[in-house]
Structure 1
């Protein structure tokens, strides 16, 4: 969907966020593994891109904190991408 279609369907806008501007979620219990599943995800993202955007929240310093999509972000990094498709939400 493009931005107009997303707005019409009351869906959040999707941004291309530089990976260099995303910080980890502190003390997040989920750990990203560099295993065969990650290799497959990297290959899929190289071929098709990200199907489900990651979820980020803005930080006061202008950077972002990842809330959901840790594996997808890492796969984009391993695939050599500079940005990741993301939904940015205000959250506490």
Structure 2
């Protein structure tokens, strides 16, 4: 249900579905890139054990935070298209 109490059209439901998919995919990409940037050196190079552990744990903490922040920011920015007026009714600005 939308703010006016009516049902959403198929186009509006499709727009919401696409936006959710975009939010999830872009968030997964951002989290993976960040994890690779933070924990990648620990996985690729022979670093001292404490530093390697810190980098891996930092990557495992920061990546989910970036994922959630990206999903929330994309979905909060999204505004579904306005629903047209009901047939047979005049709008106040006409």
Normalising by structure 1, report the TM-score: 0.22
Higher strand proportion, which one?
Answer: 1
Higher helix proportion, which one?
Answer: 2
Larger radius of gyration: 2
Bigger relative CO (Cα 8 Å, ≥ 6 apart): 1
